[in-house]
Structures are given as structure tokens and as C-alpha cells.
């Protein structure tokens, strides 16, 4: 079982069904402090990063974060 992350707030999971990212790239942020300083993710985001959560970003933003050394692209895990 995955360890749960205590947050001060989060999006209601059902709302995620309405959300999408155009040209999504799956990334893992490797520098929690730098991603926080970019203003993209706040304190709850930093907590998720520290626990290894992966995020979808647009290709343009993901490429920029990768170039800055803040994140790396990851392959999606296959099920089964």
C-alpha cells in the first residue's frame, strides 16, 4: 500500500476527470526546492515532490523544467 501524504489542501479527485494537459509529458521533479521557487508548485506540491509523486506538464513547460535541471522525463508504468 502506498504511503499517504498529508496536505493542507488538494483538488477533489472527481474534479480531475474534467482536467487535461495539452501535449502532456510525465515528469518527476528532482529538485523540490527549485520547483517551489519557480512558483509552479506551492507547499503541498513540494510535499508531493518529496514523496516521489509524478506530474503531467505541457511539453513546453516540461522541457523548460528539464533544461533547468529541476525535473526529468519518466516513462509511464505499464500495468500487468
Residue 27 has pLDDT above 70, yes or no: yes
* 51 part of a folded domain: yes
Give dist(CA 68, CA 80) in Å, integer: 34
* 47 part of a folded domain: yes
* 12 part of a folded domain: no
Pick the more confident residue, 28 or 38: 28
Q: How many CB atoms lie within 10 A of CB 24?
A: 13
Give dist(CA 78, CA 75) in Å, integer: 9
In which band, very low, low, confident or very high, does the pLDDT at 79 lie, cut at 50, 70 and 90?
Answer: low
Contact present, 4 and 53 (Cβ < 8 Å):
no
* 58 part of a folded domain: yes
* 44 part of a folded domain: yes
Boundaries of domain holding 72: 31-80
Tens of pLDDT, residue by residue over 32-63, are: 888 888 888 888 888 999 999 999 999 999 99
Domain count, the chain: 1
Whole-prediction pTM: 0.81
* 11 part of a folded domain: no
pLDDT > 90 fraction of the chain, expressed in percent and rounded: 68
* 16 part of a folded domain: no
Amino acid at each position: 500500500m502506498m504511503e499517504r501524504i498529508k496536505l493542507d489542501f488538494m483538488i477533489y479527485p472527481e474534479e480531475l476527470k474534467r482536467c487535461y494537459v495539452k501535449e502532456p509529458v510525465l515528469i518527476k521533479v528532482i529538485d523540490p526546492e527549485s520547483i517551489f521557487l519557480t512558483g509552479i508548485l506551492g507547499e503541498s506540491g513540494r510535499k508531493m515532490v518529496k514523496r516521489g509523486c509524478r506530474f503531467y506538464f505541457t511539453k513546453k513547460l516540461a522541457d523548460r523544467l528539464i533544461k533547468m535541471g529541476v525535473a526529468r522525463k519518466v516513462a509511464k508504468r505499464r500495468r500487468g
